[in-house]
Copies of this chain bind each other. A is one copy, B any other.
Amino acid sequence: VRRVTGRRCGESRTRAAILAAARDHFAARGFNGASLRAIAAAAGVDTGLIRHFFGCKDDLFIATLHVPDEVFEWMRKALDGDVGRLGERMVDAYLRLWENPATAEPLLAVARSAISSKKGTNRLRAVCGGSVFRDFLPHVGIDRAETRIALAGAHLMGVALARYVVQVPPLVNLGRDELIATCAPAIQRYLTEPLP
């Protein structure tokens, strides 16, 4: 049993290494300029193993854009509790997604490709319009839920890109709790208060 577990752990580490190398390579070269051979070299595996785990280049690209279940679970959990502090919990949960490499790397890959290619744009639009937000809507239980979630999401994405990716100094220097307290009122308003 231990050997099987060991092999599974090794497999999952190898898959993760391939995905990380693929995300960097697709970001640097775009989908068309990317090659399985270069990704395999960066991950320290051969291309056969990539084909075995992921299939063709298109399948691997889709896999790099897979948003893990934790993303949706953490955001859903943030919905529970006092509605008056929903903004605070949403900012907290969203920052946590970007502080954890297992969730931050796929989110960054989706954001990058959405901004650089039509293929990625369609993918991000599908995620935004997809299960997450359909699940959210009944919980929020307020008029114009899709508009509210899009506004809150756009604001939070801007903050995450500025703080974690571009690393704009004033946002990097804000403490986590201070950033939550600073952004929560805007998110609270978008989600729960009257809009024009």
A residues whose Cβ falls under 8 Å from a Cβ of B = 27-33, 108, 111-112, 114-117, 121, 124-125, 128-129, 146-147, 149-151, 153-159, 161-163, 165-171, 173-174, 178, 181-183, 185-186, 189-190, 195-196
Taking a contact as CB atoms closer than 8 A, the residue among B30, B128, B195 that contacts A29 in the complex is B30
Q: Tell me which residues across on chain B come within 8 A of A27, comparing CB atoms.
A: 30, 116-117
Contact (Cβ within 8 A) B112 A168: no
Known: A29-B30, A32-B28. A155 touches B159 (CB 8 A): yes
Q: CA separation between A96 and B163, bound complex, in Å?
A: 25
Known: A155-B158, A196-B178. A115 touches B112 (CB 8 A): yes
Known: A111-B115, A115-B166, A186-B189. A154 touches B125 (CB 8 A): no
Contact (Cβ within 8 A) A171 B150: yes
What's the minimum C-beta distance from A51 to chain B, rounded to whole angstroms?
A: 22
Contact (Cβ within 8 A) B128 A168: yes
Contact (Cβ within 8 A) B168 A150: yes
Known: A28-B116, A121-B167, A161-B157. A174 touches B186 (CB 8 A): no
Q: Tell me which residues across on chain B come within 8 A of A154, comparing CB atoms.
A: 155, 158-159, 161-163, 168, 171
Q: CA separation between A31 and B30, bound complex, in Å?
A: 10
Residue of B nearest to A123 (CB): B166
Task: Pull 25 A–B residue pairs with CB atoms less than 8 Å apart, ordered by A.
Answer: A28-B30, A28-B31, A29-B29, A112-B115, A114-B165, A115-B165, A128-B168, A129-B168, A129-B169, A146-B170, A147-B170, A149-B170, A150-B162, A150-B170, A151-B159, A154-B159, A154-B168, A155-B186, A157-B161, A158-B158, A158-B159, A158-B161, A182-B195, A182-B196, A186-B189
